[in-house]
A = this chain, B = another copy of it.
Amino acid sequence: MRTSIATVCLSGTLEEKLDAVASAGFDGVEIFTQDLLVSPTAPEEVRARAADLGLCLDLYQPFRNGVELAPDKFDDALRRLRRTAELMNRLGTPTLLVCSNVSPDAVADDDLVAEQLHRMGEVAADHGVRLAYEALAWGTHVHGHDHAHRLVLAADHPNVGTCLDSFHILSRGGDPASIQDMDGDKIFFVQLADAPLMRLDVLSWSRHHRVFPGEGDFDLVDVMTRLVRSGYSGPVSLEIFNDSFRQADVVRTAVDGLRSLRWLEDRTRSAMASELSASPGTEGSVGAGTRGTTDRLELQTLPKISAPSGWDFVELRTTDLGDTTRLLHRLGFRLGGHHRSKDVQVWLQGDVRVVVSEAGEGTRRQPDLDPRERPGRRPVAEIAGLGYEVEDPAAAYQRALQLGSDPVNRSELPGEAVLRGVWAPDGTEIFFGPAPGAGVPAWLEEFGVESEATGFADLITGIDHVNVAQKWQHYDEGVLFYTSVLALEAAAAQDVPGPSGLVRSQVMRSPDGAVRMPLNLAPTAAEQGSFVGVAYPEHIALASTDVREVARRAMRRGLEFLTVPENYYEDLVTRFDLDPATVAELRELNLLYDRDEHGEFLHFYTRTLGDLFMEVVERRGYQGFGAEDAPVRLAAQYRLQSRETSAEQRWT
């Protein structure tokens, strides 16, 4: 039996994967698109390397959204297919996996689909490749292996066959018996996967996945409201069975738990108060309900806050003052001044204020991180603090304290601005600054800055978002902290594949989007590469109205960009049909590109300094965070870090 394996099964880079597959003794390998496009190795080199290793490149995959299309969309699919087939010729992969369509727009018309498959078969034949059409278990209309096989027979083209995947068949309870009645020559490829039978019954859900109030999806304010109305007067207790909590630091979990109750109490009281004020005829206290019972729970409230209206400052801590300020200068920042009593400087551009302080020994933000993961030689450069502009700093600070946050002890001389802050669970110092009024903030004056309006033609105008790393097991805690203390809201989370595992990106944002903070949740059991080297680097994304000009200036000033692989640009053309001149400019400036239904997104990343890098973004209506491009970044950072630590140059 000829054995093969998809690169997506394995950790590491494409090059590491092929080496490992060959060394294990497989006959062949499936190339997963993303593994190629994040790789700096050209398709021809991949082909040559595979030949040296004695590996057959069996399949290229997946080709999505290529069939079951409305006629007006099918032409672009054929264009993408042509480009993909050309790439496959360079790679030497004979077969392309074509998935059944999962879009709600997919067309349910077997005759049409058969015709489309036939026309795709003609394109494939022109390039000497074959198409293996696979029914995904969650395909909109085509989700049975028999159905896909029938469509392939109807397509009646020698270059069109089917691909069978045991997961897609068995997970839906499909009957494999029909396989034996198929024509074996029309089965172009077979993928095997096993899986544990998963019935996430309510018992398992309860025993492993409970979280503290505010960290899940239950409407507990409703439960609490009903409880007040019942006249209950006893304790309200947390009973949480959670695999992560069982491993986490006990002191930290207890604080997290009480925070969840204080937050829920406050939310319940607010909800009941606004209900009351909506029906002014009702008598009684805030907690009074349908039965007129008073609030025997005695719900407490927290100081009211609203979400921050913007970023006051970002504080970086570094052992490499030269490298850090050089990076800022290359991005167009200018030195605002030095603090009058502390060893700290501020750098300015547009509305961005970056405070830079020198790190002493033992000032790591997350000192509990495994020392193995933070080799002593690596420089420190990290986000130490974040300043937010809030309506009522005193109230926000009091609220944070009542939610169990530890205050940051910050020394100030008499006459200096008082800045109140607390520690976030991830070790960041969170400061509550006043919302912008006239002139510069009081604290900025201490740096000798008298006016920010210095007439510079700043290309960078503000902070687009700040990306803070968290350990995977502190996901829930992080979300609740930023929700309850800063009134940010959690968007839907997204998993981004990196060479050392999935990195979850959880965007926290203010309702108006003025403050956006993706939390990066990194796998902590990574064996392939280290936690810090790969997933930890966090960053500040700066907003620009002309990212190309920022990149050009930075290039002139000698900025080290994070290199974007040529395979990525090739794929951009396939995906978006960009014209050659646009792509040439992107390539020249190391820019990445994405598009959503709202518009375009151009951005670049700098090389990592310590645990930090910078990103500059230009949004042309686009509303995402370039999650499609994050794997390219993770792979490039992983590659650099492996090179640094192992001094090993592979494939050279």
Contact = CB atoms under 8 A, between A and B. Distances in A.
Interface of A: 1-6, 8-12, 16-17, 19-21, 23-28, 30, 56, 58-59, 137-138, 164-172, 176-185, 187-203, 205-206, 209-220, 222-223, 225-227, 229-251, 253-255, 257-258, 260-262, 264-265, 289-291, 293, 296-300, 368, 370-372, 404, 471-473, 497, 500-502, 523-528
Contacts of A257: 5, 9, 24, 26
Contacts of A166: 218, 220, 223
Contact of A179 (B58, B196, B223): B223
29 contacts: A1-B297, A2-B236, A3-B235, A4-B237, A9-B239, A9-B245, A10-B250, A11-B245, A17-B254, A23-B254, A24-B251, A27-B235, A164-B223, A170-B218, A184-B230, A184-B232, A189-B235, A190-B236, A191-B239, A192-B223, A192-B237, A193-B240, A194-B217, A194-B220, A195-B205, A196-B209, A246-B500, A247-B523, A524-B525
Contacts of A368: 527
A484 to B, nearest CB: 13
A243 B495 CA distance: 10
A235 B20 contact: no
Nearest to A268: B1
A28 B257 CA distance: 13
A472 to B, nearest CB: 7
A223 B188 CA distance: 16
9 shortest A-B CB distances, which residue pairs? A184-B231, A194-B216, A180-B229, A4-B237, A179-B226, A247-B501, A24-B254, A20-B254, A184-B232
A3 B30 CA distance: 55
Contact of A250 (B12, B193, B371, B497): B12
A10 B164 CA distance: 46
A71 B200 CA distance: 34
Contact of A237 (B179, B191, B232, B246): B191
Contacts of A371: 372
A137 B219 CA distance: 17
B20 A251 contact: yes
Which of A8, A11, A178, A265 has the most B CB atoms < 10 Å from its CB? A11
Contacts of A217: 194-197
Contacts of A28: 235, 237
A238 B191 contact: yes
A26 B237 CA distance: 10
A56 B237 CA distance: 12
Contacts of A56: 235
Contact of A220 (B192, B209, B526): B192
B231 A171 contact: no
B250 A16 contact: yes
Given A4-B238, A206-B167, A230-B184, A222 B254 contact: no
A254 B17 CA distance: 8
A247 B526 contact: yes
A211 B234 contact: no
A180 B230 contact: yes
B527 A254 contact: no
Contact of A3 (B26, B255, B261): B261
Nearest to A2: B235
B138 A203 contact: yes
A247 B495 CA distance: 14
A231 B183 contact: yes
B527 A247 contact: yes
A347 to B, nearest CB: 36
Contacts of A1: 236, 261, 265, 297-300
Given A138-B201, A172-B202, A404 B58 contact: no
A371 B525 CA distance: 14
A213 B192 contact: yes
A291 to B, nearest CB: 7
Given A195-B209, A218-B166, A245-B11, A237 B525 contact: no
Contacts of A236: 1-4, 190, 192
A617 to B, nearest CB: 27
Nearest to A180: B229
Nearest to A102: B203
B404 A243 contact: no
A225 B182 CA distance: 13
A502 B188 CA distance: 44
B200 A200 contact: yes
A528 to B, nearest CB: 5
B5 A237 contact: yes
Contacts of A237: 3-6, 28, 30, 58-59, 189-192
